[in-house]
Structure 1
Amino acid sequence: MAEIRIRNLQKRFADFTAVRDSSLVLEDGKFVVLLGPSGCGKTTTLRMIAGLEFPTAGSITLDGDDVTYLRPRERDIAMVFQLFALYPHMGVRDNLEFPLRNEGVPRADIDRRVQQVASILRIEHLLGSRVGGLAGGDRQRVALGRAIVREPKAFLMDEPLGTLDAEFRELMCVELRKLHERLKTTTVFVTHDQNEAMALADHIVVMNKGEILQADDPHGIYNFPSCVFVARFIGRPPMNLLEVRGELPDGAQCVQVDGRYVDVPAVRGSAARALLGARPEHVRLLPAGEGLGGRVERVEYFGSHWIAELHTDAGVLKAVVDKATRPAEGECVGVGFDTARLVLFDADSERLVPSVTTRAHQPSMRHG
């Protein structure tokens, strides 16, 4: 196990900057997910930690040792790739044994470690099989096993579930989390799938355009997004954003939206222009004439609940509605909010305006 530190990390390819001045502490024994859209810099960051790419500037330390320009074999890490990277001409046992034989591990230790890993991953019955005939989920277990058997200081995983179907992905998320709780090895996992991130992570690092926008636990990422991008990227449907009328003064406890006053947690900052953020599950349907005036334009069924699309003079927003109270399309309704769960953003900088609730939540990762 090991703490990983990246300081002022940058990576440029000719005129393109893939990673910009990133600093982050990945705590010993934690499962950290790098999350963001394609091209945001998450995989490049992972490859620099692995030694597959060298940074243009900055430093990387592993367990206190500077590994910035060491080759992958000189770093005590193991990597799992999206496409498994197994040796198809070898059997399962040979794939698991291969990294240990390369390191000159004694035969007795190889047998012990392979058997232990096979038991952890429940693939003992596959040890005599060829990898070419395995299902996707089993091949992924073998790929994980080949990484685990080395007993490295850290695991690096580059979208390892990306090629699996939805059912296998859910199963492997559960298995990966159980595995981490058992091994407690520092793990860095790259994905663009927020559901994977929320299910797996102790800490999530949201990136976009080469920059780290927020590093926090899943609760903080979801409830207190650091900026408009994170608010829109996290959550399905994403956070509703409504324009606030007038300036937002320091200490404000209510704002005007569409000529109506909405209570908010007391802010600890100010903004010339502001946006009110509300998750769909924190939007309330009220009788017509109460709260903001709205009209139900569309209703979608999700089994356990409905998603109602509401058109108001302040903008379009979505609300989660209990499955027993389906609103009718075209119905005029009032719109209210769970005021304790609202957040505000500076409309110019698109950054979160701190409040009493955001101050109460302290980010659980160090970055910047």
Structure 2
Amino acid sequence: MAEIRIQNLQKRFADFTAVKNSSLVLEDGKFVVLLGPSGCGKTTTLRMIAGLEFPTGGTITLDGSDVTYRRPRERDIAMVFQLFALYPHMGVRDNLEFPLRNEGVPRAEIDRRINEVAGILRIEHLLGSRVGGLAGGDRQRVALGRAIVREPKAFLMDEPLGTLDAEFRELMCVELRKLHERLKTTTVFVTHDQNEAMALADHIVVMNNGEILQADDPHGIYNFPSCVFVARFIGRPPMNLLQVRGTVAGGDSQVQVDGRLVDVPALQGDADRALLGVRPEHVRLVPSGEGLGGHVERIEYFGSHWIAELKTEAGTLKALVDKHTRPVEGERVGLAFDTSRLVLFDAVTERLLPSATTTAHRPSMRHG
């Protein structure tokens, strides 16, 4: 068991609060991604879990033991950094052996672990090489190997793919996911890249301004964003947000957008002002005069589809259009929505309004 639990965690640097009263349960054996923009508090949270920073408030437990103020070597965790943190004067094998020799592991056990990890990461042919001559992807594999050979209770990874080019990042995402499915070790991974998060995570924790905004599986994060920030941060293009006319109240199953009634899942909350949220793939272009009215301002071609940017009286939105149906710039069109996939936000608090569909979804992760 290697459950990590943080409770009311805080970190202040002089007058700046990097992490604000965060509580979270990271379940044993799960791959958890801390996701958010630069400066949101995700790396500081990871460093506190690792023992590289001590909190100014709150507690951290690992495997049921309070480790809040223990040194990194006392926590039985392994960390992988963005810049590899390998010893350049050592060879690959020496880098892999180094943490085991420091722990006094017997020679036969060291050889067993090195051979096993080299096979898992497919770096057997590199064991006799010098680190300085390796490509970025191979160096990252060696850095991962040095963490894995320790057989820790948890892996902590601070943007480990950030220095790799796009092709290598995609490859390493696949390899990391396969590795996790094989080892089943609790993993906490920090990134600002939503594509990495969606590809890797069992659970995603979205942070901003030092706060945890939502903790859920990728499906819940994408389809039921807890607030406007998450709706805009997740998705490329992000969720469209349109102004709703008038107030909304519990029991409503229609809202007014640009003078037209739009069916929505039955609301279970009230708001004086609201925003309608719809993903681009849930918008359809229909003949002018049907649905919401708008005109095509711009189009982008992505090979498998078009992205059309559309101007309406309720705001600008984007629609994903089949590659065989090219929109025409300047054309007036109608817009229809997949009404079962719509969500609403309170325009003042920017929080998700509960509805029949949102309350049916139960977050897969505990926080708060």
TM-score range, shorter chain: over 0.9
SS in 2 for 1:29: coil
Q: How far is the alpha carbon of 1:307 from its aligned partner? A: 0.2
Matches within 5 A, 1:142-161: 142-161=142-161
CA distance in 2: counterparts of 1:294 and 1:136, whole angstroms: 48
2:117 partner amino acid: V
Matches within 5 A, 1:98-247: 98-247=98-247
Q: How far is the alpha carbon of 1:251 from its aligned partner? A: 1.1
TM-score (norm 2): 1.00
Corresponding position: 1:3 with 2:3: yes
Matches within 5 A, 1:180-329: 180-329=180-329
1:203 partner amino acid: H
2:258 partner amino acid: D
Over aligned residues, Cα RMSD in angstroms? Answer: 0.4
Identity %: 87
SS in 2 for 1:298: strand
Q: How far is the alpha carbon of 1:101 from its aligned partner? A: 0.1
Matches within 5 A, 1:65-80: 65-80=65-80
Q: How far is the alpha carbon of 1:360 from its aligned partner? A: 1.2
CA distance in 1: counterparts of 2:48 and 2:64, whole angstroms: 16
**Structure 2: which 5+ residue stretches go unaligned?**
none
Deviations 1:198-234 (A, max 9, x none): 0000000000000000000000000000000000000
TM-score (norm 1): 1.00
Corresponding position: 1:353 with 2:353: yes
Name the residue aligned to 2:57: 57
Question: After TM superposition, what 4+ stretches of structure 1 lie above 6 angstroms from structure 2?
Answer: none
CA distance in 1: counterparts of 2:123 and 2:218, whole angstroms: 31
Name the residue aligned to 2:39: 39
SS in 2 for 1:296: strand
CA distance in 2: counterparts of 1:312 and 1:275, whole angstroms: 14
CA distance in 1: counterparts of 2:313 and 2:367, whole angstroms: 39
Q: How far is the alpha carbon of 1:344 from its aligned partner? A: 0.2
CA distance in 2: counterparts of 1:208 and 1:119, whole angstroms: 39
1:93 partner amino acid: R
2:56 partner amino acid: T
Corresponding position: 1:333 with 2:328: no
Q: How far is the alpha carbon of 1:313 from its aligned partner? A: 1.0
Name the residue aligned to 1:81: 81
1:52 partner amino acid: L
**Structure 1: which 5+ residue stretches go unaligned?**
none
Q: How far is the alpha carbon of 1:107 from its aligned partner? A: 0.2
CA distance in 2: counterparts of 1:249 and 1:358, whole angstroms: 16
CA distance in 2: counterparts of 1:319 and 1:360, whole angstroms: 27
CA distance in 2: counterparts of 1:37 and 1:109, whole angstroms: 42
1:353 partner amino acid: L
Q: How far is the alpha carbon of 1:314 from its aligned partner? A: 1.0
CA distance in 2: counterparts of 1:331 and 1:15, whole angstroms: 53
